[in-house]
Amino acid sequence: MEKLRGFEIAKGFEDKNINLPIRKTKFSAGYDIEAAEDTIIPSFKKGMAPTLVKTGIKAYMQDDEVLMLYNRSSNPKKKGLILANSVGVIDKDYYGNPDNDGHIMFAFYNIKEEDIIVKKGDAIGQAVFQKYLITDDDSAEGERTGGFGSTNTK
């Protein structure tokens, strides 16, 4: 069977009992993603970096596709968790990169007054595969050389 798009366990997580994302209903757009390990997300203080929550998964897709990462709708109200980048973008060439094998992580801020503990197996977000378009004069020829946040590094 030809691999078109899907999820795999990222290197280093093969023996961690990671659940691959699934859709819960036949008309759901998003695949539910779980935390790979317990993670404490501290209460937000000005100037702090977001906390990266590991998923233990990576995603493969077609050349004209992207994987969009969205917060769970219940996270802000129930847990005080918001995504630092509003929507995560996983490009096709992130898969298998030399820095982290394409390991997907969610960058969260905690807007509650107390620290929040995300437990291994907790649903933390959703992933939606989408097609994208390019402009007539597109000339991108660069190649990814790293992992998380590496697109803009030289």
The domain locations on the chain are 9-131
pLDDT tens for residues 39-76?
A: 999 999 999 999 999 999 999 999 999 999 999 999 99
User: With pLDDT > 90 as the criterion, what percentage of the chain qualifies?
Assistant: 89
| CA–CA gap between residue 66 and residue 46 (Å, rounded) | 32
Task: Read off φ and ψ for residue 145, nearest 5 degrees.
Answer: -120, 0
pLDDT interval class at 36 (50, 70, 90): very high
pLDDT interval class at 91 (50, 70, 90): very high
The reply to whether CATH 1.10.1420.10 applies to domain 9-131 is: no
Total residue count of the chain as it appears in this document? 154
Residue 146 has pLDDT above 90, yes or no: no
Q: What pLDDT does 104 receive?
A: 98
Hey, is 92 helix, strand or coil?
Answer: helix
| CA–CA gap between residue 79 and residue 89 (Å, rounded) | 23
Q: What pLDDT does 1 receive?
A: 80
